[in-house]
Amino acid sequence: MRRVFIVGEPAVVESVLLSDGSTFTNVGSALPGPELVEKLNEANVECAVFVGQPDAELLQVLTTIAHTPLWMGALLVYSTAEEFEFSERCLAAGADGYLMRGSAGDSLAKVIKRVIEGEHYLSVRMTRHLMTSTAADEAEIDVDLYDLTEKEAEVFKWLGKRLDPAAIGKKVGLSEHAVRKHLRVLMGKVGAEDLWGLRCHVCAFADCVDPVPTPDGAEVDGDGIGGCMERNRGLFGQ
């Protein structure tokens, strides 16, 4: 039996534990506070599930527990808060996983099992978001190669973050119409047939050399545009 301790609203998690009673046992619950670490250690917990908003208090508690020498369990945050905004903060504070309540994908029971077994967990949606953001952040646009203006290079880079033309315009100080005009010019300069192809070129400037898994489980060479195009079929669509 997996020993789970609930921090926050126990009713939210107890129904999950009861539905899989052969796997989990709830060994206690408490609110975040100074006595929480002691309670967790006394209960010999395998996974502490934090239910609620990841505010400053919760982040501090995560950090305290993660740096406690006697703590050997996993820390999982289960929250309605948007994962794009909060999951990275929770993992940086010491959590082993972040699951957004009501999101499609892995069930809470499955995620608890995974973090207990030593994995770090983020949803596929969040992982794709981070992959895309990292590619754009690391990209060094070769302005001379494609004869890009400074503004075209800015638009090119923000495109890699999956922003639409209106959102890109807010970032670079242009109207949506002006951004779309820049995108058409960029397609011509880099030789892309459409917006999806243009997005793939952003990854070509990042350090993308590892094999890239495709939806059917196969791997393709991630070096250059070819591999990135395979990956971006799932990330961007068209």
Q: Over the stretch 33-46, which tens digit does the pLDDT of each residue have? A: 778 888 888 888 99
CATH class of 2-121: alpha beta
Instruction: Using alpha carbons, select from 80, 35, 28, 33 the residue that is nearest to residue 54.
Output: 80
- Tell how strand 2-7 and strand 47-51 pair up: parallel
Please state which of the ranges 2-6, 15-19, 134-138 shows the lowest mean pLDDT.
134-138
For 226, the 3-state DSSP assignment is helix
Q: Which amino acid is at 238?
A: Q
Instruction: Using alpha carbons, select from 72, 73, 90, 93 the residue that is nearest to residue 81.
Output: 90
Residue 61 pLDDT greater than 60, yes or no: yes
Give the start-end residues of each E strand in 170-217: 212-213
Share of the chain above pLDDT 70, in %: 72
pLDDT value, residue 162: 67
Please state which of the ranges 119-123, 152-156, 174-178 shows the lowest mean pLDDT.
152-156
Rounded distance, CA 141 to CA 201, Å?
10
Beta-bridge partner residues of 121: 97
Rg (CA), the chain: 22
Tokens of 58: 């919760």
Rounded distance, CA 85 to CA 78, Å?
14
Average pLDDT over residues 49-61: 89
Q: Where are the domains of the chain?
A: 2-121, 134-235
Residue 224 pLDDT greater than 60, yes or no: no
**Which pTM value belongs to this model?**
0.57
Q: Which amino acid is at 162?
A: R
- Tell how strand 74-79 and strand 212-213 pair up: unpaired
Please give the CATH number for the structural domain made up of 134-235. 1.10.10.10
